Structure 1
Amino acid sequence: MNANYNNINVIGFDADDTLWVNETYFRAAEQEFAKLLTQFETPNKIDQELYKMEIKNLPLYGYGVKGFILSMVEMALKLSNNTVSSSTIEKILDIGKTMINKSVELLDGVEDALKQLSKKYKLIVATKGDLLDQERKLEKSGLLKYFHHIEVLSDKKAINYKKLLSHLDIKPEVFLMVGNSLKSDILPLVEIGSKAIHIPFHTTWQHETVSENSVSTSDYLTLKTIKDISRYL
């Protein structure tokens, strides 16, 4: 793409798997959940059915750990024909609490990049998930001092970004979004006329996957690590 960012004055960052590790913990939790229910179904089938339950519940619970926990509980009841033990339900709840209480593991180079970029640009966070959980992670991360605004969105479609930029009085053409998800962090910004930098994470929730052929690679820039941003900004 034409990596010219001369007109950019505001940079938005996704949080989970862009600033810190997140999806890795969900994959580990799914494995724990499958082990708890092996008497009822195979691990692969449990994983498939849990994903279907999560997607079904997204309009009700939204994104984040809490909705994930509720979907696990509902799935356990369904797979066991309502015979799952109270101790197993308690263990499922503990899986979720462990996820929420995890320390925040920043991705390599994140703080240095934010420190440098914040000297020249206004930085904001635009992320999905549970409001309380995301606020907690931001506080634990030690990164709050670099951001002018934090926005936890119910979804990350073009209309959500349009509303956010309008609310903050930011023109799309001066806005750059950085994130790991093509579906949530890149394509919607290309659609509204903003710039976008894609930094893939090694693990992606299947709901966030999209074919890279769905948009021309000339419409956004892909980097291996956040540390590479300094070559362009």
Structure 2
Amino acid sequence: MDLNFSNITTIGFDADDTLWVNETYFREAEEYFAGMLEEFETRNTIDQELFKMEMRNLELYGYGIKGFMLSMIESALELSNNRVSQATLSRILDLGKNMISHPLELLQDVPEVLRALHGNYRLLVLTKGDLLDQERKLEKSGLMQYFHHVEVLSDKKPRNYSRLLEHLEIDISEFLMVGNSLKSDVLPILELGGRAVHVPFHTTWAHEEVDPADHADRHLTLSRLNDLLNYLN
């Protein structure tokens, strides 16, 4: 793979689990949710059924905490055959609200890397999720000063990237995408003929999982974001 990034002018960063912690809180919420419904099913079954519900609802609700919260409520009703208590449904709502209001935790090296790249590259945030929630997290992050543009996408398929890059008048040959998800941040860009950097996060949502070995020779994988500076500037 060509590791020469000398002609890169624009760098897109994913947000969740690339700039700040996100998936960890979903896993914690899933464990709490399973504990609330143990009287109706095993934890393993609850986890599986919740994931199925999320997948069925994805086209309706999109990505983010609000859709996740609605899927938890619907799963609770289905798993309990509508016998789940009002108190439990209220706890599920509180669980989602607590996720939304959770303090933001930046990942290691993020401010330093953005500071080093700012001024030399056009920096973008290209992320999925709920618009209001992502705007709120960006505001809390203190990172807005580094970015030229922020885009919350309904999905991250090649056509989504292609339309956005065309709208922003960015040549794919001069664009680099950085993110934690092979499925969403790397493979779509490679399909368009661009370049991408994978910075894995220790937890990955099942919906985002692909086999890294199948694509290892087509992109750059880094163990930490700070290593990106070795290939840029």
* TMscore range, shorter length: over 0.9
Specify the SS of the correspondent of 1:218: coil
How much does 1:150 deviate?
A: 0.4
Matched, 1:154 2:171: no
Deviation at 1:27, TM superposition (A): 0.1
What secondary structure, in the 3-state scheme, does the structure 1 residue paired with 2:93 have?
A: helix
Q: Which amino acid aligns with 2:118?
A: S
Q: Is the contact made by 1:184 and 1:208 (CA closer than 8 Å) also made in structure 2?
A: yes
Q: Deviations over 1:70-116 (max 9, x none)?
A: 00000000011111111000000011000000111000000000000
Which residue of structure 2 aligns with residue 28 of structure 1? Answer: 28
Give 1:1-233 correspondences, 5 Å limit: 1-215=1-215, 217-233=216-232
Aligned residue identity for 1:184: S
For each residue in 1:52-85, what CA deviation from the matched residue of structure 2 results, as whole angstroms up to 9, or x when unmatched?
Answer: 0000000000000000000000000001111111
Q: How big is the shift at 1:2?
A: 1.9
Normalising by structure 2, report the TM-score.
0.98
Deviation at 1:218, TM superposition (A): 2.7
Instruction: Write the letter of the residue equivalent to 1:226.
Output: L
**Is the 1:173–1:194 contact (alpha carbons within 8 Å) kept by the matching residues of 2?**
yes
Q: What is the rounded CA distance, in whole Å, between the counterparts of 1:218 and 1:111 in structure 2?
A: 29
Amino acid paired to 2:38: T
Distance in 2 of aligned mates of 1:115 and 1:76: 45
Query: Residue 185 of structure 2: SS of its match in structure 1?
Result: helix
Letter in 2 for 1:225: R
Alignment partners' CA distance in 2, 1:150 and 1:176? 15
Percent sequence identity over aligned pairs: 62
Quote how far apart the aligned CAs of 1:213 are: 3.4
Which structure 2 segments of 5+ residues have no match? none
Equivalent position SS for 1:75: helix
Counterpart amino acid of residue 206 in structure 1: A
TM-score (norm 1): 0.98
Runs of 4+ aligned structure 1 residues displaced above 3 Å come to none
CA distance in 2, matches of 1:93, 1:203: 24
Runs of 5+ unmatched residues, structure 1: none
Tell me the CA shift for residue 211 of structure 1. Answer: 1.2
RMSD: 0.7
Secondary structure of the corresponding residue to residue 188 of structure 1: helix
Report how many residues are paired: 232
Structure 1 residue 143: Cα displacement: 0.4
